[in-house]
Structure 1
Amino acid sequence: MHIHYLQHVDFEGPGYIRTWAEQNGHSLIGTHLYKEESLPQPDNINALVVMGGPMGVYYEQQHSWLNDEKEFIASCINKQKKVLGICLGAQLIADLLGAEVSAMDHNEIGWFPLKWSDEARNHPTFSFLPGQQQVLHWHGDMFEIPNQAVPMGSSKACTRQGFFIPNHILGLQFHLEMTREGLANLIEHSDGELQEGPFIQQPNEMLNSDLFTKNHETMGNILDNFLLNNAE
């Protein structure tokens, strides 16, 4: 499978997704949008992964490449490629599908419980999901659930944590792909986001977690069941 990813900043890459691709013999090539690299032709890829980033969905004036990125994601959706969005990536997909993206009451940064929805767990693609698990969050915006999408889950700080449109589109607000090294890079570039707040953990607490492996297992199962199911 030819998987392409879109990266918005140099410190937030595909993380465990790269490990999964290498272990399973899939090609994984990226466009680093912040370097103004060229986008591929949608027909030359099987799946698209849109990564996170500190900018917002509507920051076209600050990041002119956002316009081209949105057109590319829309083209991949229209051609029914597998499209997975993580954090900002999920927000971009939601926006393209006509769902509102807006600021949350409180930023959510750290390891907090996620309740997987019954609708997701009852779908054959995600029947392996537990009722609840601790996942890594790092976001201050939240999307509405697009029309005809299955809601994936919720947390205390964020009631809309993901959506799924069978069998081609998946948006996840949280970071199952994040490695310890990737989180350290994110913390280094946090730009003052780690202030006191009801849903903000401090760096040592986040980095010393033993939950990375479990999150990677879930990410691997999602990639197996979503990306590979009925893939072109």
Structure 2
Amino acid sequence: MGTKRILALQHTPEDPPGLVLDMARKQHIQIDICTSSHEPLPDVLYDYDMLIIFGGQEHVYDENRYPFITKEKELTRKALARGLPFLGICFGGQLLASALGARIRRLAAPQIGLLNVHITDAGRRDPIYTGMPAHQLAFQWHNDVFDLPQDGVLLATSQGREHQAFRFGPNAYGIQYHIELTPGMFEEQLSDKTTRRAFQHKPETYQHIKEAWRTVYPTYEEHSRIFLDNLFRIGQLIPARSPIHDSGRYRRTAQ
């Protein structure tokens, strides 16, 4: 069996693959990173076993300003038509929803910070959340949210009833929250002047995140790694897990 390959679409240096890259390397999966806002996208995906699209500062509906968004949607539809395993994170999750015809809506105010994500009944039955608790603390930073596409399965929500995760078909996932952040990425984001300006109307939120992230990070990282491990197994990039290896992990119905 040859080396498995992931095509990862990154939009800015501030949004690198982080834990996704680390997990892929540990599993000896090759990950090719394309900065799609500056580099040409491949016309076909025959050389790849999974497509992952990361976050970005653009809006999915700004295709006139950013033509690469249209190209990403086309590539996403090709991946879906081929049945290629897919993960979209934040902007990438919105792009998947949009490619499937769902509406992307602008929020009245940005959603930034450490927020609780609630796994739905369908999510607790889905293999992507195997070994995970029913409630998770996640990091979010977005101005837009996605409606659920037709035939999409809602897997997670937040307290404000925002859609946080969905599945389309057997192996295409879109999530609104971030699972890829490393400690270095947290540090860089929180020390950036642009980040501080984004919190100018809620300085207490910025201070809370700055003080809290180190405390919650071990759990955040554990959940992220379990999610990615599940994703790689669903996509058959690594072997399926035997039941004995699930001992000691979270039960799906854990609170």
Same fold (TM over 0.5): yes
Structure 1 residue ranges, 4+ long, deviating more than 4 angstroms after superposition: none
Equivalent position of 1:33 in the other structure:
36
1:178 to 1:119, Cα distance in 2 relative to 1, 3 A: same
Equivalent position of 1:202 in the other structure:
206
Q: Which amino acid aligns with 2:195?
A: S
| C-alpha contact (below 8 Å) 2:93/2:176 kept by paired residues | yes
Equivalent position of 1:152 in the other structure:
155
Larger gyration radius, structure 1 or structure 2: 2
| C-alpha contact (below 8 Å) 2:41/2:71 kept by paired residues | no
CA distance in 2, matches of 1:125, 1:180: 24
Secondary structure, counterpart of 1:120 in structure 2: helix
Equivalent position of 1:112 in the other structure:
115
Equivalent position of 2:242 in the other structure:
none
| C-alpha contact (below 8 Å) 1:106/1:197 kept by paired residues | no
- Identity fraction in percent: 24
1:230 to 1:62, Cα distance in 2 relative to 1, 3 A: closer
Q: Which amino acid aligns with 2:63?
A: E
Q: Does 2:224 correspond to 1:219?
A: yes
Equivalent position of 1:63 in the other structure:
66
1:58 to 1:124, Cα distance in 2 relative to 1, 3 A: closer
Aligned-residue offset at 1:162 = 1.0
CA distance in 2, matches of 1:202, 1:191: 7
- The within-5 A match list for 1:2-151 is 2-39=5-42, 41-151=44-154
| C-alpha contact (below 8 Å) 1:121/1:128 kept by paired residues | no
CA distance in 1, matches of 2:165, 2:126: 14
Count residues with an aligned counterpart. 231
TM-score by length of 1: 0.90
| C-alpha contact (below 8 Å) 1:111/1:201 kept by paired residues | no
Q: Does 2:173 correspond to 1:170?
A: yes
Q: Which amino acid aligns with 2:200?
A: Q
1:191 to 1:81, Cα distance in 2 relative to 1, 3 A: farther
TM-score by length of 2: 0.82
Secondary structure, counterpart of 1:202 in structure 2: helix
CA distance in 2, matches of 1:61, 1:12: 22
The structure whose residues are more often helix, as a share, is: 2
Secondary structure, counterpart of 2:131 in structure 1: coil
Aligned-residue offset at 1:166 = 4.0
| C-alpha contact (below 8 Å) 1:119/1:150 kept by paired residues | yes
CA distance in 2, matches of 1:211, 1:130: 15
1:137 to 1:165, Cα distance in 2 relative to 1, 3 A: same
CA distance in 2, matches of 1:98, 1:207: 40
Q: Which runs of 5+ in 2 are unaligned?
A: 238-255
Q: Does 2:179 correspond to 1:183?
A: no
